Amino acid sequence: MFGSFMEHYFPYASQMGSDFTQATEETVLMTVSAMIIAGVIGLIIGILLLLTGSRGLSPNAPLYWVLDQIVNIGRSIPFIILLAIIMPFTRLIVGTSIGTTAVTVPIVVGTIPFFARQVQNALLEVDPGVVEAAQAMGLGNLAIVFRVYLKEGLISLVRSVNFTIINLIGLTAMAGAVGGGGLGATALQEGYQRGRTDVTFVAMILILIFVFLTQIIGNALLRLIAHGRA
């Protein structure tokens, strides 16, 4: 019954079970690895923006200006253009410019400024009064970053990560257009370009499931760390 239903409405997709499994794995892999790499670098840049800003713990106008410009410009370049521009750099560090690994490079590069700005904004929400109290207690800047900003800003940070992952899933799909793998590539190359609408549709459903799962996990995590507030 189910089998004939699938064959009738999803003539091509129903034959591609293992392709979808592999594409899903690739999408998850790209998203997770990009999130980890861009997460670490973006976190560091976000914290530097926070510290060197005019109301930061150690204001440094020139450094702030440089970081701020990099982040601004980085966020302004459309991803599809970044993909192309960054190809030589990609080839330099991973040896090739096509495939899942290669496409992770522009995804990381595109995500760093996006995430850095979110980290900065998330941490700016931390009550300056609490920071002042910590200073009055004799904490140094590094201790304040770890024990005050990252701890008090954790809820906002988790929200940012959540938001960034969902954004990343979009980027991985777009990367499919230029020889990356994953569900985006399947939807475009196997589905759209061959006129196989059912394939595109299934790929889209799988992407949506991934997005929803991210949100569910994120919300569960938020509830866990919020201890009943917010």
Partner 1 sequence: MIELNDIVVKFPQKGHVVTAVNHVSLAVDDGSMYGIVGFSGAGKSTLVRVMNLLQKPTSGSVIVNGTDLIALSERALRKERRNIGMIFQHFNLMESRTIFDNVDFPLKGSGISKVERRQRIEKLLDLVGILEKKDAYPYQLSGGQKQRVAIARALATDPKILLCDEATSALDPKTTIAVLQLLKEINDRLGITIVIITHEMQVVKEICDHVAVMEEGKIIERGEVADIFSNPQKPLTQDFIRTAGHIDQAETTILEHVAGEDVYELRFSGSRASEPILIDIYKRFGLTANILYANVEYLQNKPLGTMLVTFDSSDQLGEVEQHLQQDGISMSKVVR
State the residues that interact with partner 1 by CB under 8 A: 127, 129-130, 132-140, 143, 147-148, 151-152, 154-155, 225, 227-229
Handedness of CA 97, 102, 106, 112 (dihedral sign): negative
CB of 58 to partner 1, least distance (A): 11
Question: Smallest gap, in angstroms, from Cβ of residue 165 to partner 1?
Answer: 22
CA distance 139 to 148: 10
Q: What tokens were used for 126?
A: 């931390």
Q: Report whether 193 contacts 96 (CB < 8 A).
A: no
> Rounded to the nearest 10 degrees, how much is the dihedral formed by the CA atoms of 136, 137, 141, 146?
-130
If the CB atoms of residues 60 and 189 are measured against partner 1, the closer one turns out to be 60
Q: Of 66 and 142, which has the nearer Cβ to partner 1?
A: 142
Q: HEC profile for 42-91?
A: HHHHHHHHHHHCCCCCCCCHHHHHHHHHHHHHHHHCCHHHHHHHCHHHHH
CB of 77 to partner 1, least distance (A): 34
The stretches of the chain forming alpha helices (DSSP H) are 2-9, 17-52, 61-76, 79-85, 87-94, 100-124, 128-136, 141-144, 150-152, 154-175, 182-185, 197-226
- Shortest spacing between CB 50 and partner 1, in angstroms: 17
Q: Which is nearer to partner 1, 134 or 175 (CB)?
A: 134
Q: Which is nearer to partner 1, 82 or 154 (CB)?
A: 154
Interhelix angle for 17-52 vs 100-124, to 10°?
40
Is 119 in contact with 67 (CB distance < 8 Å)? no
Closest to partner 1 by CB, 135 or 167:
135
Is the Cβ of residue 93 or residue 136 nearer to partner 1 in the bound state?
136
Q: Tell the smallest beta-carbon distance from residue 123 to partner 1 (Å).
A: 13
CB of 39 to partner 1, least distance (A): 20
